[in-house]
Amino acid sequence: MKDIIANNLIRYRKGLRLSQERLAELVGVTRATINNYENAKTLPDSKTLSALARVLEVTLDDLLRPPSQGLTNFRFRAHASFSQKPQFATQVVRLLETYNNLERAVGQPPYAPESTPCHQVENNEKRIIEIAAGFRHRLGLGEAPILNLFESVEEIGLKVLRQPIPIKGFFGLSACSVDQGAFVLINNHEITIERQLFTLAHEIGHLIFHRGEYQDHLIVEGTEEEEKAREDVANYFAGHLLVPQAEFDQMYAIMPNIVKLKQHFRVSYQVILTRLAQMNVIDYAKEKAKICSIYKKRHGSSLSNSMELPPTLDPSDFPENERYKRLIWQALTLGKISEMKAAELLEMTVEDLRVCRQEAEVYAIA
């Protein structure tokens, strides 16, 4: 146990770029004490261990768990190296472990999309488009715009969680297990709904085309060129999943207006620009520069890459983590988890949870 705690303390301390002196100061012990913990010479008492967990932004279980222990049958795909962010990697494993346990508790079968390798867009355009159409069919959709992709994929059993993760440039990641299905984590920290929807579609593309590249840890491998080619495949798939060609051709003929098209398909204006550029209708860079120029004249400020051209989608139309919350309530009803655990997972007090249960009973259909 000393060695486990020692290794975890070093890992999480370095993840926050804290010196031993600074950690000691925040916890209220001496640097020598921290040094003894990290060299597995002594064990912290329960009070100090709790303080260490709080300062290091992890749970007690995270400090006591061997680094290699976790969901070893899950393989991950991340868009950046998280080897220097152990707190984040631990958080992801914890979220996935909780979701997976809830599915098992209520007897929900796991789901993952069918996998077929594809590593470049060139000469594979038709195949990618067909697979995007096939996935839309799996969702029960035709050519019509997708009202809520989060809801649609959750209905077929895909594990999706949207969480605020203040890591610059991070939009999402995915994981997959042969036995326990697929999981997508979407960052919603100061990120538009349009971008979140695209990230979900993009990660589904990776789950379909790049399953063989998923790894045991949240660290990307492969050359930059290979990674860019995979990103292009996932982007191409996402564009056609969100904006099917036949409907796009029809709507573009009726209303060749970027704002109206993005409203119709409920996507980002950049998705529309990309699709038009792929059809050789516009030059992406020139058209985007023109839009940004018009925006600045009208609003007096720049349209940054992280912003969406108005009108934007309303977040209230896309409630977060609905399937996850339903599983928590089902597990509670079945007696698989306690009220205290359910309240913790739902991020509410036990009192508020009891009020919600009473209201649900009042309005339940007999």
Mean pLDDT of 116-137: 97
Alpha carbon distance 220, 81 (integer Å): 6
Mean pLDDT of 142-153: 95
Sign, CA dihedral 169-221-149-244, equals positive
Sign, CA dihedral 194-195-201-204, equals negative
What integer pLDDT is reported at residue 82 of this predicted model? 58
Residue 287 backbone dihedrals phi, psi, to 5 degrees: -65, -40
With a cut of 90, say whether residue 218 has pLDDT above it: no
Cα dihedral 114/195/118/244 (nearest 10): 80
Q: How wide is the angle at C-alpha 167 spanned by C-alphas 315 and 327, nearest 5°?
A: 50
pLDDT in tens, 301-359: 999 999 999 999 999 999 999 999 999 999 999 999 999 999 999 999 999 999 999 99
What predicted TM-score, i.e. pTM, was given to this entire model?
0.89
Residues whose CB is less than 8 angstroms from the CB of residue 216 and which lie 6 or more positions away in sequence, other chains included: 72, 75, 76
Q: Which two tokens stand for residue 316?
A: 């209230």
What integer pLDDT is reported at residue 11 of this predicted model? 86
Tell me if 252 sits within 8 A of 277, measured CB to CB.
no
Q: Name the band, by pLDDT with cuts 50, 70 and 90, for residue 80.
A: low
What integer pLDDT is reported at residue 78 of this predicted model? 63
Determine the length of the chain.
366
Q: Which of 71, 69, 100, 78 lies closest to 213 in space, CA to CA?
A: 78
134, HSE (Cβ side, Cα atoms, 13 Å): 13
What integer pLDDT is reported at residue 334 of this predicted model? 96
What integer pLDDT is reported at residue 366 of this predicted model? 63
Percent of the chain with pLDDT over 70: 94
Which three-class secondary structure state does DSSP give residue 163? strand
Sign, CA dihedral 308-309-315-321, equals negative
What integer pLDDT is reported at residue 21 of this predicted model? 94
Percent of the chain with pLDDT over 90: 76
Mean pLDDT of 33-62: 92
pLDDT in tens, 48-63: 999 999 999 888 988 9
DSSP per-residue codes, 165-179: ---TT--EEEEEETT
What integer pLDDT is reported at residue 299 of this predicted model? 93
Which three-class secondary structure state does DSSP give residue 304? coil
Average pLDDT, the chain: 91
Q: Which of 205, 187, 212 lies closest to 91 in space, CA to CA?
A: 187
What amino acid is encoded at 295 in this protein?
A: Y
Residues whose CB is less than 8 angstroms from the CB of residue 280 and which lie 6 or more positions away in sequence, other chains included: none
Alpha carbon distance 135, 241 (integer Å): 8
Tell me if 108 sits within 8 A of 157, measured CB to CB.
yes
Alpha carbon distance 105, 337 (integer Å): 9
pLDDT in tens, 244-257: 999 999 999 999 99
What integer pLDDT is reported at residue 360 of this predicted model? 85
Q: Name the band, by pLDDT with cuts 50, 70 and 90, for residue 364.
A: confident
What integer pLDDT is reported at residue 68 of this predicted model? 56
With a cut of 90, say whether residue 237 has pLDDT above it: yes
